[in-house]
Amino acid sequence: MTVRRNVDVLTAGEALAALRSTGPVRLAHQLGLSVAGAELNVAIGLVRLGHSARWCGVLGEDQFGSLVLRTLRAEGVDVSAVRRMAAPTGIIVFEPLAAGVTRVDYHRSASAGSHLRATDLLAAYQPRPRILHVTGITPALGADPASAIRETVEVAHTEGVIVCLDVNHRSRLWSTEQARQTLGELVSYVDIVVASDDELTLLTPPEHDTEQAQVDWLRARGVEQVVVKRGARGASAYVAGEAAAHQPARKVIAVDTVGAGDAFVAGYLSGVLDTLDTRQRLLRAVTVAGFAVSTIGDWAGLPTREELALLDAEPGSALR
C-alpha cells in the first residue's frame, strides 16, 4: 500500500516529452529534449515557490516516461500517484517560425496520458490536499480522463477543498461545443476559475456577452474568484465581496510565451496558499509569468521564492 504525505496542491493531467527545434523541422534542425504539460508546469512552479505539490498522471513504460518521472522527482514534485503502462508517452514538438511565432505539433493519440482513470485521481486525492487544480486540457483527452476530473472535483467540493479550474482551451483537442458542455458541468463545484479573456464564453451562456456579465453568472453559481489573464496587458481578479482588482504585466523582454499561463497559475495559487490579498496574488502571478516569458522553455525559468524580487532589479544588473 502506498503511503502518501499531505500536500498543498494536487493536480493531474498528461505529461509530454518536449522536443524543441532550433528551426524548421523539415530542414533537420537540431532538437532539444525536455518535458512539458500544463499541470506539470504548475506543480513545478509551486514547488519552486516553497509549496508541496503532487502530480497524478499515466506515463508510458518507455524512456520518455522515465524522463518525466526523473524530472519531476528532481524538482521535488510528489510522483507517488503516477501509474505506468504499455502505451507511449505523448510528444509535443515546438518549432520556431518567423517573427517570434512558435508552431506546436502534438503526437498524443492513444498516449498513456489519455488512460487516466477516476481510480487514479481519487487515490491520489488521499490524503486530501489544500487545493485541487485541474485544467480544461485533461477532460479533452477522452471519456476516462473527463470522468476522473469530474468525480474528483465533486468529491473535493463536498469536502471543502479549494478547487481551481484553468480553462486552458485547446481547440485541436475538442470543439468549442464539447468544451462548453463538459466544463460547464464543473462550474458549480469550482472555487477559482482562471481563464483568458476569450475563454470565459466556454463557461457561460452565450447571452452573457460582456466580461462583467460572465463574471456575475459564474459568481452566482458559487465561483468565489474569477481570474482573467490578459497576456501583455496583465490580469484582473473578481473576488466575492471585493472590488475588481487589475494588475499590469511585468516589463520584461519576452523570448518564449509558451508556459506563461501555467506560470501565472502557479504564482496565483502560491498567493492563495500564503493568504495574500487579491492584489498581492495578482502581482505574484504576473511576476512568475514574467520569469516564464523571459526564458526559453515551459518551466525551466520559473523562479524560487528568493528570486521573485529579481524582476525589480535594473536591466543589465550583475548580482555579485
Q: Which residues are catalytic?
A: 262
CA dihedral 172, 156, 38, 284 (to 10 degrees): 130
281 within 8 A of 237, measured Cβ to Cβ: yes
Q: Distances from the Cα of 243 to the Cαs of 216, 267, 279, in angstroms?
A: 13, 21, 11
Q: What percent of the residues of the chain are helix, what percent strand, and what percent coil, each to the nearest 5?
A: 40, 20, 40
Measured distance CA(193)–CA(312) in Å, rounded:
29
Report the alpha-carbon distance of residue 265 to residue 131 in Å, rounded: 12
- Sign (positive/negative) of CA torsion 152, 115, 170, 49? positive
312: which 3 cell numbers?
A: 525589480
Which amino acid belongs to residue 140?
A
